[in-house]
Amino acid sequence: MPEIRQRRPATTGFRSIPAGGGIDRHWHEQHQIVYAGRGVLSVTTDAGSWIAPANRAIWVPAGTLHQHRAYGETALHTIGLTENPLGLDNPSALTVSPLLRELILAFTSDGGEDTGDRRDERRRLHAVLLDQLRRSPQRPTYLPAPRDPRLAAVCRLLEDDPADNRTLTELGREIGASERTLSRLCKTDLGMTFPQWRTELRLHHALRLLAGGESVTRVAHRCGWASTSAFIDTFRRAFGHTPGARSA
């Protein structure tokens, strides 16, 4: 099947995406803010994947080829921007404060219509929204994709089974590469150490499972944490709240 590289307008509005649904590979001429008001959404590019629970939004710069996938019933809110208030040329995950969340919901609630009596109101909302975006800190919910085939083989093993606790030496033995070579590739290909990448992978899987209704204990086990408390601690440090306190 040919790869889809469709250009789509970076619309402002809201849509519901069923669990497991998504949007095929496409790009926009405008920048876009992507936010899941309910559920969990991933944005994937050739460079890797970003994932957005309810306290994160994803910045997608104009011209970036990407696709979406929903985990759990997902309320997708998107805002198209001609401005680049963040000055970022690459996708990024942003912290969504309670105020920024309400601004996004209000700005997308009517499908982005900018007509009639609401024109001045929306202009004011837009200005405040840009101010809040500029203040929003970036947070790493990014899982980079490996380029080297040896490292990609190791990563696939863990993507198939995030609970696999084998060391990099043991994994390398299976695919025929040394621990030293794979460690070097992690830094050059992924920009992080192997333990950091594995933790990010497990967090991505954990968010997907939680969105599907799995219990915290079950998710901790399936994603490879030694205990539920260890999972809760890692999750809190990554997302600012416990896995049992996800926003609706």
Please provide the average confidence, as pLDDT, over all residues in the chain. Answer: 89
| Cα atoms in the Cβ-side hemisphere of radius 13 Å centred on 15 | 14
80 with 202, same domain: the answer is: no
116 with 187, same domain: the answer is: no
Distance CA 63, CA 78 (A): 16
Nearest-5° angle of CA 187, CA 45, CA 128?
105
**By C-alpha distance, which of 75, 57, 58 is closest to 19?**
75
Of residues 2 and 90, more confidently modeled = 90
Neighbours of 41 (CB within 10 A): 31
* Domain count across the chain: 2
Of 142, 174, 200, the residue at which a domain comes to its end is 142
Average pLDDT over residues 26-35: 93
CATH value at residue 192: 1.10.10.60
Q: What is the pLDDT of residues 3-13, one digit of tens each?
A: 555 766 667 89
Instruction: Tell me: pLDDT of 68 over 80.
Output: yes
Q: What is the pLDDT of residues 151-168, one digit of tens each?
A: 999 999 999 999 999 999
134 with 151, same domain: the answer is: no
110 with 186, same domain: the answer is: no
Domain residue limits at 14: 6-142
130 with 240, same domain: the answer is: no
Distance CA 49, CA 42 (A): 7
**40 is a domain residue:** yes
| CB distance 234 to 181 below 8 Å | no
